[in-house]
Amino acid sequence: MIGEEDKQLFRDTVDAVAPMDKDGGTRMPTNAERKPPFIAFSHVINGTIAGNKIVHYAKSGISEKQMNIMKHGHIDSVAEIDLHGYTVEEACEALPDFIYRHQFERYVRIVHGKGYRSRNGMSILKTQVVNFLSQHPQVLAFHSCPPKDGGAGAVFALLKKIDG
């Protein structure tokens, strides 16, 4: 089995390498060109969003077409983080790192679950994810996934393009 130390060593090594574009197109950005992780977001104390509620958000100028792509899951491959079993504190540490590592991708998927073990049916983890994404400067929009991709227990997020 691969240990956490080995995983981190691999990640550190891979992140330090700038991928080559074999077709001679645009150069891929290096870590030095990345924006730092976003950490200036507020943390929630109580869940305010029901686990089965569909959530969505879009900054001004985001087209209905972009929202429908996320709503219907018309996304081929996407980076994903599964927060099942995370505490709010652990999620608050993992989310900035996840977006940082995938900041050059167009979409990401965050699986937060529906909070079946939460008090009063209000999911604190889902509430924190929505709170985080709403504040993140690179997140242009998000929408709960269709059932095949996690339904109300996951969101697709549209990230702002960053030129490398």
Which domain CATH number covers 124? 3.30.1370.110
Q: Is residue 8 part of a domain?
A: no
More confident residue, 125 or 27: 125
Longest Cα–Cα distance of the chain, Å, equals: 55
Distance CA 135, CA 20 (A): 33
Q: Is residue 136 part of a domain?
A: yes
Q: Is residue 112 part of a domain?
A: yes
Q: Is residue 137 part of a domain?
A: yes
Q: Is residue 12 part of a domain?
A: no
Structural domain that includes position 104? 42-159
In the chain, the number of structural domains is 1
Q: Is residue 99 part of a domain?
A: yes
Instruction: Spell out the residues 6+ positions from residue 115 whose beta carbon is closer than 8 angstroms to its own.
Output: 47, 51, 121, 122, 123, 124, 125, 126
Q: Is residue 27 part of a domain?
A: no
More confident residue, 24 or 9: 9
With a cut of 50, say whether residue 18 has pLDDT above it: no
pLDDT in tens, 77-133: 899 999 999 998 999 889 999 999 999 999 999 999 998 877 788 999 999 999 999
Which tokens belong to 64?
Answer: 């209905």
pLDDT score for 11: 63
| SS3 sequence of the chain | CCCHHHHHHHHHHHHCCCCCCCCCCCCCCCHHHCCCCCCCCCCCCCCCEECCCCCEEECCCCCHHHHHHHHHCCCCCCEEEECCCCCHHHHHHHHHHHHHHCCCCCEEEEECCCCCCCHHHEEHHHHHHHHHHHHCCCEEEEEECCHHHCHHHEEEEEECCCCC
CB of 154 within 8 A of CB of 110?
yes
Which percentage of the chain shows pLDDT scores above 90?
A: 59
pLDDT score for 17: 47
Q: Is residue 2 part of a domain?
A: no
